[in-house]
Amino acid sequence: MRYVLVLIFFLFSITSFSEPSKNNPRDASHPAACRCRPNQACWPANQEWQSLQQSLTGRLSKPVSPIAACKEDWASQSCQLAIKNIHNPFFNESISGGTQSQGWLNGWDSQVSDYAVEASTTEDVVAAVNFARKHHLKLVIKGTGHDYLGRSNAPDSLLIWTHNMRHTSYDPAFVPNGCHQRPVPAITVGAGTRWLEAYQEATGKHHRYVQGGGCTTVGAAGGFIQGGGFGSFSKKFGTGAGGVLQAELVTANGKVITANPCQHPDIFWAIRGGGGGTFGVVTKVTLKTHALPNYFGIVSGSISANNDESYQKLVQQFLIFFRQQLNNEHWGEQFSFHSNNTIQLTLLFQGLNKKQVEKIWSPLRNWIAKHPDSYTMQMNIEIVPADKMWDDVYLAKHIPTWISNNQSEQASKGEYWWTPNTQEVSKYWYTYQSWWLPLAFFADNHIKQASDTLFQASRHVTVTLHINKGLAGASPDAIRHGRETSINPAVYDAAALAIMGSGNNQVYPQLKNHEVNLQEAKQIVQYTQQAMHLLMKAAPQSGAYVNEADYFQKDWQTVFWGKNYAKLLQIKRKYDPAGVFYCHHCVGSEEWSDDGMCKI
């Protein structure tokens, strides 16, 4: 009988804990097993939302899907306008319900939060964090919504949207708080600032360079630097994370702290590589600037072989050329191996003039010229004075095909994105995977295996090597400052990051008759897995870049962070013991259910 009573009491306590009634609201001060959903009694009452609203300098809003009109009627004018709008990355960033991708097959679909704190100040962020913690709400942070793995959107959540916290300032002699060190020129950017705005401040106004992202619309204080962050010239200037001098952040207990090497060095280390949305909300960061080189430039083109055998030889020859001539601090961006026996070139360089670039490429061009029956090559070299690299007027005049202007009525002056990024905007991803390829992979004694592997992989899908996303061959400064961060140490052995991604930018999974073609998508995923398997087999001890990785990555803790994971988890537990911040495959997320709602 005693056991029956105990069992009844046990069952009663579970039921009353997981489904609190209005008469018996859950005591918010107790750690909850599950976060609160909108249909539950524990969800804050209207009055409580109103008092949150009143405490803000910004505002509280109900986010709306940018394609809401299409759910009613695809053919309507408002839907057609919405579809046009969501192919403009600046538009997607201008509404709290927007994301840069539509979703990921069997992973996530772009969804809106129940409420958004449209933060204007650090105090707004504090209010939102305190509110979410007090009411056990799922909290999401979004700056630009670029996250491939959907970590900046979630249903049944409160969103902190930092888009309005966009400000930049320059300090010619910055010293981190509490540190005694030589002052350096730096820029400080607010949480919502995009790289275009940071570049226009540092380069356009102050003739300096700041190491940010290739894509102009990626956030300068959010997931990019917190996950590592590679730009076209990272082999010279290092990672985004390595350039952070100081950050202000709001931690899970609602405190505002300033983190740098002299104050809170543990969390300072963690937020430089350990991933966004995990350790707190970064409200501003100060970034090191560098002397501007004279020139930036672009090499574009392609090399095609007329049959498989010639292509195999070409791949090998090109990899040797890459290792000998391009794997250094002058070069960045990418080349890709295609199934039609073509290598596509989209490379950027810094600190070289046209003559020097021509000389660098002459060994490869000579080799190709010796085999006119087997190969055709097209190559263009474009030089941009470094101080004009983010000047839309100059670019529109001199390299107009490279830029797409923000033509919406709300556009601010000077807003553009690089045209090659257009096909990624509002894409629905079938898959997206990355793997670091160590320098040893390209060594003479391995080059045959390397080229065979890449050739075989290219039979399945296009394989792109991003040479600026591996730091083997980088400048000593880039490596030294990189090693002070929590980025996966595999990056220092890597000459390049291999990326394979496929999707469709005309698929809208939430709209009837515009869903994904499942058969086609699954087939592509399978091909990609086969190709990736070949690379992983050839370089098994490596890892993947957390910001550009497979949603379904196995053993993600080690693959994303290597030996740094244990320390990152310790810091997560210290600063956020209750797990206020959660995102998919982020540090500490293994302690939560897949939707981040219930503690396991």
Ligand X SMILES: Cc1cc2nc3c(=O)[nH]c(=O)nc-3n(C[C@H](O)[C@H](O)[C@H](O)COP(=O)(O)OP(=O)(O)OC[C@H]3O[C@@H](n4cnc5c(N)ncnc54)[C@H](O)[C@@H]3O)c2cc1C
Interface with ligand X (CB under 6 A): 100, 141-148, 151-152, 162, 191, 213-215, 218-219, 221-224, 226-227, 229-231, 276-277, 281-282, 421, 424, 547-548, 583
C-beta separation of 220 from 285 below 8 A: yes
A 10 A CB-CB count for 6 gives 10
Going 504 to 505 to 508 to 513, the CA torsion angle's sign is: negative
Residue type, 190: G
Kindly state the smallest distance separating residue 162's Cβ from ligand X, in Å. Answer: 5
Count how many residues are written for the chain: 600
Beta strands in 439-491 (DSSP E): 463-466
A 10 A CB-CB count for 30 gives 9
Kindly state the smallest distance separating residue 446's Cβ from ligand X, in Å. Answer: 27
Kindly state the smallest distance separating residue 192's Cβ from ligand X, in Å. Answer: 8
Q: For residue 491, what are the contacts with CB-CB under 8 A and spacing of at least 6?
A: 228, 239, 436, 469, 470, 471, 482, 543, 545
Closest to ligand X by CB, 214 or 317: 214
Kindly state the smallest distance separating residue 276's Cβ from ligand X, in Å. Answer: 2
Closest to ligand X by CB, 535 or 587: 587
Kindly state the smallest distance separating residue 219's Cβ from ligand X, in Å. Answer: 3
C-beta separation of 456 from 537 below 8 A: no
* Cα(525)–Cα(430) distance, integer angstroms: 6
Q: Which residue has the tokens 């990418």?
A: 334
Kindly state the smallest distance separating residue 11's Cβ from ligand X, in Å. Answer: 37
Closest to ligand X by CB, 142 or 264: 142
Closest to ligand X by CB, 247 or 535: 247
Kindly state the smallest distance separating residue 473's Cβ from ligand X, in Å. Answer: 17
Which pairs from 33-42 meet CB under 8 Å and 24+ separation? 33/598, 33/599, 34/136, 34/597, 34/598, 34/599, 35/136, 35/137, 35/138, 35/156, 35/596, 35/597, 35/598, 36/135, 36/136, 36/137, 37/156, 37/597, 38/114, 38/156, 42/135, 42/136
Kindly state the smallest distance separating residue 439's Cβ from ligand X, in Å. Answer: 20
Closest to ligand X by CB, 153 or 475: 153
DSSP assigned state of 545: -
Query: What is the longest distance spanned by two Cα atoms in the chain?
Result: 93
Q: What is the CA radius of gyration of the chain?
A: 25
Closest to ligand X by CB, 25 or 577: 577
Treating both helix axes as pointing N-terminal to C-terminal, what angle do 46-55 and 122-134 enclose, rounded to 10 degrees? 160
Kindly state the smallest distance separating residue 104's Cβ from ligand X, in Å. Answer: 12
* Cα(489)–Cα(495) distance, integer angstroms: 13
Kindly state the smallest distance separating residue 490's Cβ from ligand X, in Å. Answer: 15
C-beta separation of 437 from 495 below 8 A: yes
* Cα(75)–Cα(484) distance, integer angstroms: 54
Kindly state the smallest distance separating residue 10's Cβ from ligand X, in Å. Answer: 37
Alpha-carbon distance values, 296 to 79, 215, 344, 348 (Å): 41, 16, 20, 7
Closest to ligand X by CB, 146 or 272: 146
Closest to ligand X by CB, 148 or 442: 148
Kindly state the smallest distance separating residue 482's Cβ from ligand X, in Å. Answer: 13
Closest to ligand X by CB, 303 or 501: 501
Kindly state the smallest distance separating residue 249's Cβ from ligand X, in Å. Answer: 7
The residues pairing with 438 across neighbouring beta strands, listed in sequence order, are: 494
Closest to ligand X by CB, 328 or 505: 505
For strands 375-385 and 331-337, give the pairing. unpaired
Closest to ligand X by CB, 455 or 556: 556
Closest to ligand X by CB, 191 or 532: 191
DSSP assigned state of 57: S
Beta strands in 147-294 (DSSP E): 157-161, 168-174, 184-190, 208-210, 244-250, 256-259, 281-291
Closest to ligand X by CB, 516 or 586: 586
